[in-house]
Amino acid sequence: MKLIENNLISRAFLLLLQLKSNAMKLKSLLLLFFITPLLSLAQERRNEHGNLSDTRRDEDRRDGDRRDGDHREGEGSTLTIFSENGDQFFLIINGIKQNNYLQTKVRVEDLPQDVNDIQILFADNFTHEIEKRITISDPLEGKPVSLVLKIVREERGHARLHFVKSTELMRDYHPEQDEYVMHYGRDIIRREVVVVNTPPPPPPAPVGPFAMDERTFNDLKRSINDASFEDTKLSTAKTVLNNNYVTTNQVIDLCNLFSFENNKLEIAKFAYKKTVDQNNYFNVGNVFNFDSSRKSLNDFINGKR
């Protein structure tokens, strides 16, 4: 644009020299006097518009970086996970194993991004691993935070992650006793931590079966008592036992619902395979009046082992 402006001024001077009339020269000189500042002003506005566009592009680029949730080194969030019951575990974040040795409390600083995939592997090889995707940042301003989670044991021993607190990020943190502190991707003495493909843990130990609860068992006893004949009582008990489990004490209660010794013995033998605590089954022999019945039950149990 500056070159075009200079060319226009040069041509105006040449035209001025070619003019013969002094009046025409004066008019041309005045026209040139007004045109020159206008051309300079237009160029300055174009330059200002170009600089503003560059600034806006830079701001959009920085906003895009912030939206991606990435942080420069030393500016990331902090995650602390500890076990309420003292369970030892390995912590894996985004496929990177953080602690090379089993710990009960791990603090990882300087997370490189807001959204992180968390995986926790337990030392006992029976507790099922925990897998979560967690956003670790201020929900309003998107700033890094210090997030604390705890591992708790729920019913039947299942492990779950529970929220404890989320606070403003604190620099120069002093670790607590028995707390393992590290930077993301490297431990406290800055050894590099490699990405690992963690093999799946062994399947959990089978749980159960479970004996009938008290309410269900009382309903069974009521049904047996309501029957008029021993054969009907025996048939009812077997039908329920085909689909349920019992304890040794419950078997004793069932046997006592029958009047005849042979029916007691039959239900005792039938219920053995559906008893959850077979190591206590010797107590069932006390329901019999004759030693022959006790011996018959013992022979039956020994034949099943």
What's the maximum distance between 2 C-alpha atoms anywhere in the chain?
A: 151
Task: Give pTM, 2 decimals.
Answer: 0.41
- Residue 153: what pLDDT? 87
- Residue 68: what pLDDT? 45
- Residue 300: what pLDDT? 93
- Residue 12, judged by CB atoms within 10 A of its CB (0-12, 13-18, 19+), counts as middle
* CA distances to 107, 180, 194, 218, 258 from 174, in Å: 11, 11, 26, 59, 71
- Residue 56: what pLDDT? 59
- Residue 35: what pLDDT? 55
- Residue 199: what pLDDT? 64
**Domain over 78-183 is classified CATH 2.60.40:** yes
Torsion of CA 85, 87, 90, 94, to 10 degrees: -30
Among residues 250, 258, 264, 266, the alpha carbon closest in space to that of 224 is found at: 258
- Residue 142: what pLDDT? 80
- Residue 67: what pLDDT? 45
Q: How far apart are CA 64 and CA 62, in angstroms?
A: 5
Residues of the chain with pLDDT under 70: 1-74, 177, 186-208, 305
* Strands 89-93 and 78-83, bridge-based pairing: unpaired
- Residue 71: what pLDDT? 54
Q: How far apart are CA 94 and CA 116, in angstroms?
A: 6
Residue 201 C-beta-side C-alpha neighbours within 13 Å = 18
Q: How far apart are CA 305 and CA 301, in angstroms?
A: 7
Could you tell me the residue ranges of all domains in the chain?
A: 2-67, 78-183, 214-304
